[in-house]
Structure formats: structure tokens, C-alpha cells
Structure 1
Amino acid sequence: MIFTVAIDGPAAAGKGTISKAVAAHFGFAHLDTGLLYRAVGAKVLAGGEPVAVARALDPVDLEDDSLRTPAVAQAASEVAVIADVRSALVDFQRKFAARDGGAVLDGRDIGTVICPDAAVKLFVTASAECRADRRYKELSGKGLDVTSEQVLADVRERDARDSSRATAPLIAADDAVIIDTSDLTIDAAVARAVAVVEAAKRAVG
């Protein structure tokens, strides 16, 4: 059974948490597509050429713990605007989405570009202030030296870049279900997502 769930949204909106929970609930495979760009960004920071790195990316490259640092996140957003980098990673994502048994992919252009025919499309969002507060707590909890003002500025800068890029900008698909997590608990957001997927699964039999 091929059943694809596409989950998009800006940084720190909760799409990763929701995606993992939905995948676990239904027994689907999960791919955090942002890790593809983070892996490319990390290799670029180490001196690699963006397009060459993207074309040679290996699944094992996604298992590096250092991919979660702010510097790598920034580099990922910068390489993501390069059309040839995005093109190199499209096949990787589409092959994953077409695997038997169901798949959940989360990112920024899954429902609009990677899997426009996905059975379910969700767009998970939250206010910039709410997302910055979550990210600040996450980073400071890891001992990183950041300020809340700096994190909010980074979130707004990344939102602007992701939403205005010429190739695959961050936008909700026309048929996506919007889930705003600003005032939702994790459990409530996950329950809402699961309910949407359940309804879609019933519709296709």
C-alpha cells in the first residue's frame, strides 16, 4: 500500500513531533526531509560544494548528531535556495514517499512540490514568537549560548528566506489542512493530525 502523508510548515512549529507521532501511530515510515538539507549544509560548512554534496548524499549522513546546531540550520536554509541542490534531493524524497506500507514526510515543500498527490497534506504552523520561544528553550536546554531576541530574529529571517525563495517557497498547498499549534498542546495537535489521516484512510478504503 502506497499512502503518503505530506507535512509542511516553518521551523519549530511542531511538524517534526507531529510527523513522528503520526508515523508511529499508523506504522508508517518517517523522513525528516529537513535533515537532507542540514546534511548538505553541514558538508558545505566543512568545505564541500553544495550541488556536488547533494548529489552524493547518503542516508547515513542523516544520522549525525551535529545536524541540529543553529549554524547547520542556517547553512541548510541557505543551500535550500539553490535550485540544483533541491533538484538533486527530489528523487531521494519521492522514492521514500513511494515505498510500500505508507510514509510520512515532513519539510517545507512536500505537499506542493515533492508529493503534490499525497493522500494527506498538513500544514503545521504557529506564531513566530511562539516558535522562537520553543526553539530558545530547546537550544538553551542543550547548553548553547543564545538569547531569546537572537532566536526570534533568526526565526523571522529564516521565515522570510524560506517563503520568498524562487524555487519551492514555503507555502501551504491549496488542499492542505492547517494546524496552528500556537495554543495547542502536543497531544491535541497530534490528535488532530491523526484524525485527518484516519478520515483519509477511510475514504480510500
Structure 2
Amino acid sequence: MSKITIAIDGFSSTGKSTIAKQLAKHLGYIYVDTGAMYRAVTLYAMQNTFVSPDAFYKEALISSLNDIKITFQFNEQLGFAEVFLNGKNVEKAIRTLEVSSYVSKVAAVTEVRQKLVEQQQEMGKNKGVVMDGRDIGTVVFPNAELKLFMTASAEKRAERRFKELSDKGDAVTYEAVLKNVEERDYLDTTRKDSPLVKAIDAIEIDNSHFSLEEQFDKVLKLSEDKIKEVNGSIG
């Protein structure tokens, strides 16, 4: 049976990564968290003081791109692949609110996007991949057989993100998280290079009031229907 490419785009904190991981595991597909790749580059920029509250040394980051090696290594205990930056596990380090506050700015750099898009396309060239991000269905895989666009209200997304960070022990406030969500929405949708937009042929899913189970059931059905459709047309 032929496999397909599933592109999941959408706003921050809509649960794209969660649903993509579940879907890939169920289908036996490869999962690629592109957002984690941009977060890893952001962490590198922070570690090398290329970005701070007062400055962003974009040219310094661009000149260092060849020194940034991002890989995914599957963790059997966790059931998903963790992100490694230059050989070091940074899965937890890239999920902080501080990284979130800079990632949209770093992701707007054309050279950063070009480098990561090339890697993402290479990862998915043989299909059988579930990839989530901001521009998967519009730039990385414009010919993906199934495109989904996840959305929810800013308040609901901030609520989820606040709980996630609080459960990890991070000292954050709901107000700070909401502000970050709204700022990222603005930066993601207004950037010049590959802004966050819904692909014309993407199916929009507003999960403001969905449980994780309801969301998974809906996305799984859409995926299985598309796989059947593709294989039916081949046969």
C-alpha cells in the first residue's frame, strides 16, 4: 500500500505536535517536528548571544548556520524522537517560554528557513511522513496528499500552554503566556518569508473545544480516508 505525506500546519499551541506524534505512531509513519528544529536554532542563537531582549545579531547567526547540526533520535521509553543540537539532547531546553519568545523572530530569517526547509524535504522525500509546522503544506510539501490546518482561540491556546509549562515546574504566569501566544501569532502571520497561512486545499480544524481523543479520531479518519483514496486511484 502506497504511503502519503501528511502536512499539519497551524498556530502555536494548537497541539500540532501532539496529534502528529499520535498519528505517525498509529500509521507507522515517520514524524518530523519542524517547530523543534526552529527552536533548536533559536536555542543556539541564545547560547551564542546572537539574540537577546535588546538585540538580534542576524548576520552572525546566518554565518554560523553551517555549525548547527540538528538530529532526531528515537527514545523508546518516551515513544517519540527527541531533538539533539550538535550532539546534545535539547528536547527540554527548547520548550521553555524564553525560547518561545525568540523563535518567531529567528524563524523569520530567510537563510534559516532555506536551510531547514531543505533538510525537511530530504526527510520526507520517500513519503510515509507526518510533518507539522507553519509552512509545511504551503512551502515544504505543497503537493502533500493531506493538509490539515489547526487553529483555536488565543485564550484557549494560552491556557493549554500555561498548564503544560506549569506541570513541568516552569515559573510562568497565564498573562505572560497569552502575550507570547499573541505576539507569535502576529510575527508568524506577518513575516515576509513563508508566513503562516492556510493552504487553499487544507482542511481547517478548530480544536478549541475538542478533547485529545476527539481530535485524534477526526484526524485519523481523514488520514485513513485519504490513504484509501490514493491507493484506490493507483489500483
Instruction: Read off the aligned partner of 1:57 and give its amino acid letter.
Output: K
Contact preservation (8 Å) 2:37, 2:70: no
Match of 1:50 in 2: 61
Matched residues, number: 204
Q: Distance between the aligned counterparts of 2:153 and 2:161, measured in 1?
A: 12
Distance of aligned partners of 1:128 and 1:83 in 2 relative to their CA distance in 1, 3 Å threshold: same
Q: Deviations over 1:1-53 (max 9, x none)?
A: 45210000111111111101110111000000011111100000011632244
Match of 1:108 in 2: 134
Match of 2:94 in 1: 67
Of 170, 188, 193, 1:162 maps to 188
Q: Distance between the aligned counterparts of 1:192 and 1:63, measured in 2?
A: 33
Farther off after superposition, 140-149 or 20-29: 140-149
Q: Deviations over 1:39-71 (max 9, x none)?
A: 100000011632244443231328412111111
Contact preservation (8 Å) 1:6, 1:111: yes
Which consecutive residues of structure 2, in runs of 5 or more, have no partner in the other structure?
A: 51-59, 72-83
Q: Distance between the aligned counterparts of 2:64 and 2:188, measured in 1?
A: 21
Instruction: Read off the aligned partner of 2:10 and give its amino acid letter.
Output: G
Of 104, 123, 147, 1:121 maps to 147
Farther off after superposition, 2-11 or 129-138: 2-11
Q: What displacement does 1:149 show?
A: 1.1
Contact preservation (8 Å) 1:122, 1:179: yes
Contact preservation (8 Å) 1:120, 1:197: yes
Structure 1 length-normalised TM: 0.95
Q: Distance between the aligned counterparts of 1:4 and 1:25, measured in 2?
A: 14
Match of 1:37 in 2: 38
Structure 2 length-normalised TM: 0.83
Instruction: Read off the aligned partner of 1:89 and give its amino acid letter.
Output: L
Which consecutive residues of structure 1, in runs of 5 or more, have no partner in the other structure?
A: none
Runs of 4+ in 1 over 6 A off after TM superposition: none
The structure whose Rg is larger is 2
Higher helix share: 1
Q: Distance between the aligned counterparts of 1:190 and 1:200, measured in 2?
A: 15
Instruction: Read off the aligned partner of 1:10 and give its amino acid letter.
Output: F
Q: Distance between the aligned counterparts of 2:132 and 2:69, measured in 1?
A: 18
Match of 2:77 in 1: none
Match of 1:17 in 2: 18
Contact preservation (8 Å) 1:4, 1:98: no
Identity of aligned residues (%): 40
Distance of aligned partners of 1:36 and 1:53 in 2 relative to their CA distance in 1, 3 Å threshold: farther
SS class of match (2:164) = helix
Match of 2:27 in 1: 26
Contact preservation (8 Å) 1:54, 1:89: no
